[in-house]
Chain A
């Protein structure tokens, strides 16, 4: 049976239930709902602090109309970050490595920002297609370029998340295999490889959080233009 390094991204099924169902429901289970007590337990306090800080930072550049999206951005950020971080545990499945899921998140949200812009302020939304101060001969070319860049945004959002996570997981698996195979033959090289693996894992933890943040940040930027 032909197995390759990419098999870790195939969606595993057991007794007819795909693992992705468990992986997608886990962020829902892991975070406790805030209670109405004044002093909560540690987990709840940490969680509330983080969400408040993050939402405050994210909503700084948005005007009042954009604040309607606060809950969506906060929950999206927590969801993506949890999915990414949980995928770093051994034997787990990362749903965000599936392009279908990321496109399913990116396209509707991007389309929502565009439609909101076109409905509420069509002139301003179309005006974003032409940066200020362009010389007159360049205008037609620039309009075309800006339109293309507008339509590439959902693609970029989805593919960026997928590619970053997939590449990270693949690297971890490759380097881990190398270290494992080298260990009986050349222990010194194996130790060096293990160090690289450790550093890479740290990087992956960072990437997991950063990618979620970037996703939501870009969405908020697109919203800022249009709302």
Chain B
């Protein structure tokens, strides 16, 4: 038996199909306050899951730092791509 169709705006992110992604984002609150609230929610989820636990390990911070390294790589890619097979550094 098929589920009742849910309106797009009320779907959770994991249930949104790829094709509907842009229209789903457009239904969200994209004002500065809305964005800040979303960032705060994401931060609280991450913090309470990985760091604010009794025996938190290195994993919580390690994930943050790794994502920072990856982000920096993406940022500097245009600059770094010249280094690949240069003869003289």
Contacts and interface: CB of A to CB of B under 8 A. Distances in A.
Interface of A: 1, 3, 5, 7, 10, 12, 14, 19, 22-23, 26, 29-30, 32, 41-44, 86, 89-93, 177, 181
Nearest to A18: B75
Given A22-B75, A43-B51, A90 B64 contact: no
A10 B69 CA distance: 17
Interface string B67-89: 01101111111111011001001
Nearest to B77: A14
Q: How large is the interface on B (under 10, 10 to 19, 20 to 34, 35 or more residues)?
A: 20 to 34
Contacts, number: 67
Interface of B: 43, 47, 51-56, 60-61, 64-65, 68-69, 71-80, 82-83, 86, 89
Given A30-B61, A32-B47, A89-B69, A41 B52 contact: yes
A91 B73 contact: yes
Contacts of A26: 68
B49 to A, nearest CB: 12
Nearest to B80: A91
Nearest to B54: A41
Contacts of A30: 61, 64
Contact of A93 (B76, B83, B89): B76
Given A19-B75, A30-B64, A41 B53 contact: yes
A35 to B, nearest CB: 8
A182 to B, nearest CB: 13
B78 A32 contact: no
Contacts of B56: 41-43
Nearest to A42: B56
B52 A32 contact: yes
B36 to A, nearest CB: 13
A46 to B, nearest CB: 10
A167 B74 CA distance: 25
A42 B55 contact: yes
A77 to B, nearest CB: 19
B72 A92 contact: yes
Contact of B72 (A7, A32, A41, A91): A91
A177 B89 contact: yes
10 contacts: A10-B79, A19-B75, A19-B76, A32-B47, A32-B52, A41-B51, A42-B54, A89-B72, A93-B72, A177-B89
